[in-house]
Amino acid sequence: MSSQNIISNYSSIDQHQVILNGNTLPLEDATGQSFSNFAKSVYKGQLSKYSKFYKMDNLSKLAFLASDLLLQDSVFTDKYPNDKIGVVLGNTSATLDTDTTYFDSVKDRNNYFPSPANFVYTLPNIMIGEICIKHKIQGENICLVTEYNDLEPVLNYANLLLDTNQCEACVAGFVDLVGEQYSATIVLIEKKSNLTENTYFSQNQLRELLAKRPAHKNVY
């Protein structure tokens, strides 16, 4: 992490647990819930209403929830020009979850019914698009292929955008989902000179958070 840039906020969603800036958010007992039902519970209990939420695939819902929790109380969209806010996300499994659903609609030639609603979500960078639309972000954005829960290349890329003045703030993190295995960690990186508060989160704190998570199973 560049000494000139700091993580001002972070959120995490992993296996029925939601964390915002180190604090576990109170939720109704979600044990045993499918991701779909869990996502609905988080959305209804924590976030402002957004009509497109229910149309998204599960990967986009996960990215949307983590980023919206992070940004809903932030004034960064008022502080920075829209085209100076970036989004950098890492992902391991791409859109395998949605690809499988889409393939099921076309594999039987006697019952061939491709779904446009699924097809539109068969690229992982679509989750970035949903975040940008909701928060009117117009800056640089990219989706990287990374090792599971590996924030290092994501943070390095985000810092490069800030250090070269292509962005003044960046939403960055890791989002991955296949079936009922899911994990998201999203951080807001800002230049220290733009902040008045001294509180910030270190990269080591995020590593500790990720280290507590169960190992990801190879889905391929």
Q: What pLDDT does residue 143 have?
A: 96
Mean pLDDT, residues 96-114: 80
- Give the pair of three-digit tokens for residue 206: 């995020």
Q: How far apart are CA 66 and CA 61, in angstroms?
A: 9
Picking from 210, 143, 209, 167, the residue whose alpha carbon sits closest to that of residue 4 is 167
Does residue 113 sit within a domain? no
Q: Judge contact between 184 and 100, C-beta under 8 A.
A: no
Minimum mean pLDDT among 64-73, 79-88, 121-130, 170-179: which range? Answer: 64-73
Picking from 200, 202, 183, the residue whose alpha carbon sits closest to that of residue 66 is 183
Does residue 29 sit within a domain? yes
Q: What pLDDT does residue 30 have?
A: 63
Q: How far apart are CA 218 and CA 96, in angstroms?
A: 12
Does residue 116 sit within a domain? no
pLDDT digits 0-9 by tens, 163-192: 999 999 999 999 999 999 999 999 999 887
Does residue 150 sit within a domain? yes
Q: What is the CATH number of the domain that holds 146?
A: 3.40.47.10
Does residue 100 sit within a domain? no
Strands 85-91 and 23-24: what pairing?
Answer: unpaired
pLDDT digits 0-9 by tens, 2-43: 568 888 888 999 888 899 888 888 877 666 789 999 999 899
pLDDT, averaged across the chain: 83
Minimum mean pLDDT among 20-29, 89-98, 198-207: which range? Answer: 198-207
Highest mean pLDDT among 44-53, 65-74, 99-108, 170-179: 170-179
Does residue 167 sit within a domain? yes
Rg (CA), the chain: 17
Q: List all residues 6 or more positions away from 9 whose beta carbon is below 8 Å from its beta carbon.
A: 20, 21, 70, 74, 187, 188, 201
CB-count exposure of residue 211 (10 Å: 0-12, 13-18, 19+): exposed
Number of domains forming the structure of the chain = 1
Does residue 217 sit within a domain? no
Q: How far apart are CA 163 and CA 156, in angstroms?
A: 10
Q: Look up the domain containing 145 and give its range.
A: 5-95+124-211
> DSSP assignment, residue 27?
-
Does residue 156 sit within a domain? yes
DSSP per residue, 101-146: HHHHTTS-GGG----HHHHTT-STTHHHHHHHHHHT--S-EEEEE-
Q: How far apart are CA 20 and CA 190, in angstroms?
A: 17
